[in-house]
Amino acid sequence: MAQIIDGKKISQEIKEELKEKVAQMKAQGIERCLAVIQVGNDPASAVYVKNKKKACEYIGIRSASYELAEETTEEELLKLIEELNRQKDIDGILVQLPLPKHINEDRILLAIAPEKDVDGFHPVNVGNLSIGRPGYVSCTPAGIIQLLKRSGIEIEGKECVVLGRSNIVGKPMAALLLRENGTVTICHSRTKNLKEITRRADILVVAIGKPKYVSADYVKEGAVVIDVGIHRMENKKLCGDVDFENVAPGTSAITPVPGGVGPMTIAMLMHNCVEGIKG
Ligand SMILES: Nc1nc(=O)c2c([nH]1)NC[C@@H]1CN(c3ccc(C(=O)N[C@@H](CCC(=O)O)C(=O)O)cc3)C=[N+]21
């Protein structure tokens, strides 16, 4: 029987550990504050932002919330970021994505001071990860490493296949698996003979952004499958990039959606806020 990897439980464990750490830091007079910026009122973003603020409250760090109108200009947003970059009492800056179309996301992410970039999206942090230097690591892939480690799944020497090549998930995921001494292949929507490659995986991370895209014929018997996708179906239920019912029986371990990778993203954001930059 496949082990269902419980992201909710593991994320809770991490938040408990962080809560304790925050209490110790407070006793030494150290406080943390995360600035959370949301532009516009996309309902999905509003839910995520609310969950991030709730997590801050739970572990005991302050959050400063900036809810900006849809019409906010790129210049106005840049000005706010520059102000927050300068403020000594702000430790982390998170700009919720996606941004409205009239704002250049790239320019915004580049404006966040790398030492406050708790999302790990700034090119300096991305670069540091790829050459093995200390820096903030993107929360979703960092959370996946924690899921694997805390579920007793070894990475070293394993065939790891990442399906998807986004800057936020696929690429940093590959870098992290490599850092853990996995043998890493990245494949994507244009890959030829995709199934042949995904079927080689001992650990398959799916972040292709298509609902229920991966069926059992993509997966080797006994593989570990991590599903990064999150989609709302017509019946309002959530599903991932993996067809869970079809794939789960042939795996040794698999993450569900919801309750898999999603909660880990927020736990690792909290980790980044509390721990700061470390090796
Ligand atoms: N600057 C920025 N940083 C992000 O980290 C970021 C972002 N923008 N924009 C959107 C994506 C998406 N994301 C998720 C976080 C938590 C869940 C999560 O907790 N999911 C729950 C379900 C939540 C629900 O019920 O909708 C689960 O999978 O169990 C999902 C997705 C962070 N993102």
Overall average pLDDT of the 176-184 stretch: 98
Q: Considering only CA atoms, which residue is closest to atom 10 of ligand 1?
A: 97
The token duo for 47 is 């839910």
Overall average pLDDT of the 77-84 stretch: 98
Write the ipTM. 0.96
What is the signed CA dihedral for 216, 221, 222, 223, rounded to 10 degrees?
A: -60
156 CA to centre of ligand 1 in angstroms? 28
> Among 51, 95, 112, 230, which is best to mutate for testing ligand 1, by the most ligand atoms less than 8 A from CB?
230
Is pLDDT above 80 for 278?
A: no
Overall average pLDDT of the 170-176 stretch: 98
* pLDDT, tens digit (0-9, with 9 covering 90-100), for 247-263: 999 999 999 999 999 99
The Cα-based distances of 63 to 22, 54, 120 in angstroms read 14, 9, 18
Give the 3-state secondary structure of residue 161. strand
Overall average pLDDT of the 188-217 stretch: 98
Q: Is the CB of 227 under 6 A from ligand 1?
A: no
**How high is the pLDDT of residue 279?**
52
Q: Is the CB of 36 under 6 A from ligand 1?
A: no
Order the strands of the 159-163 sheet from edge to edge: 3-4, 253-254, 224-227, 203-206, 159-163, 183-187
Strands 238-239 and 224-227: unpaired
* pLDDT, tens digit (0-9, with 9 covering 90-100), for 32-48: 999 999 999 999 899 99
Rounded CA-CA distance 226/260 in Å is 8
**How high is the pLDDT of residue 1?**
81
Rounded to two decimals, what is the model's pTM?
A: 0.97
* pLDDT, tens digit (0-9, with 9 covering 90-100), for 147-162: 999 999 999 999 999 9
Buried b (16+ CB within 10 A) or exposed e, 150-159: bbebebeebb
**How high is the pLDDT of residue 71?**
97
What domains can you pick out in the chain, each with its CATH number? 30-118 (3.40.50.10860), 139-261 (3.40.50.720)
